[in-house]
Amino acid sequence: MRVAVMVTTDKVYHNREWHYPYREDEALGGHDPYSASKAASELVIASYRDAFLAEQGVAVASARAGNVIGGGDWSEDRLLPDAVRAWQAGRVLEIRRPEAIRPWQHVLEPLSGYMALAQQLWARPELAGAYNFGPVPNQAATVREVVELARSAYGSGQVSYQDDSAGPHEAGCLTLEVAKARVTLGVKPRLDLARSVRDTLDWYRAQHQGADARALCEAQIAAFEALP
């Protein structure tokens, strides 16, 4: 093995609730067990890279992706899958923290970034390290903005926005600095938020109407690869 790309999450950073985008050299940490576990995995990755793998000629990088959306995700407690399930069933979508800010991106964005990272590491192992993948910082958006884009793309759907203080703790603001991936790897976002949400809802709508899921994915991949 010469290259390994380990995918964690944008939740690895010690969140200070500021609008400053987090860079790869920011402090790691987590208020909740999920975030803490991912920060811990980053420490494990770095320790194995520095203590053993680098001297064996294995280039190891960690990839910290922003909030990912895209057709085919049916996980529970995820914004757009929950929206699609609710609207297809004629139910009201309940949103707990509508003003929370996140670095939303279509799933094909980080996936293409991971491939570029692995390719670059093969030729230049000195690039091993941590990389953020997400939209440019000023393109981060609130949950409310994403829901309204989704409702517009879907064409209908009821939403109930709740009090921000309800439920377990969640970060209010999280944005990523992605300059390292852009400068070092040549990776830059290709889809804006509106297009990302529209493509996602188009996938769910077509699949619900009987289209083949694999064919839908392949068509969206081909369209993505054709973008400049």
Residue 108 has pLDDT above 70, yes or no: yes
Alpha-carbon gap, residue 80 to 102, rounded angstroms:
14
At 165 the pLDDT is: 61
pLDDT attached to residue 220 = 98
- pLDDT exceeds 60 at position 166: no
Instruction: Residue 200: name the closest of 64, 83, 76 by CA.
Output: 83
- What per-residue confidence (pLDDT) applies to 131? 98
- What does pLDDT average to over the chain? 94
Does residue 113 register a pLDDT over 90?
Answer: yes
Radius of gyration of the chain (CA): 18
pTM of the model: 0.94
In the predicted structure, residue 164 carries a pLDDT above the cut 70? no
In the block, residue with structure tokens 């999920």: 34
How large is the average pLDDT for residues 33-52? 95
Rounded to 10 degrees, what is the CA torsion of 67, 69, 72, 73?
Answer: 40
Place of tokens 């909740």: 32
How far apart are alpha carbons 104 and 192 in whole angstroms?
A: 9
**Cα–Cα distance, 146 to 127 (Å, whole number):** 34
16-20, 110-114, 168-172, 218-222: which range is least confident on average?
Answer: 168-172
In whole angstroms, what is the distance from residue 145 CA to residue 141 CA?
6
Q: Which CATH class is domain 3-225?
A: alpha beta
Tokens 């991912």 locate to: 38
What does the domain layout of the chain look like in residue ranges? Answer: 3-225
pLDDT at position 50, please? 94
Give the three-state DSSP class for 199.
Answer: helix
Distance CA 80, CA 85 (A): 9
Q: Taking residues 13-24, what's their average pLDDT?
A: 92
| pLDDT higher than threshold 70 for residue 47 | yes
- Give every CB contact of residue 85 below 8 A, 6+ residues apart in sequence: 91
Residue 134 near residue 176, CB atoms below 8 Å: yes
pLDDT tens digits, residue range 167-224?
565 678 999 999 999 999 999 999 999 999 999 999 999 999 999 999 999 999 999 9
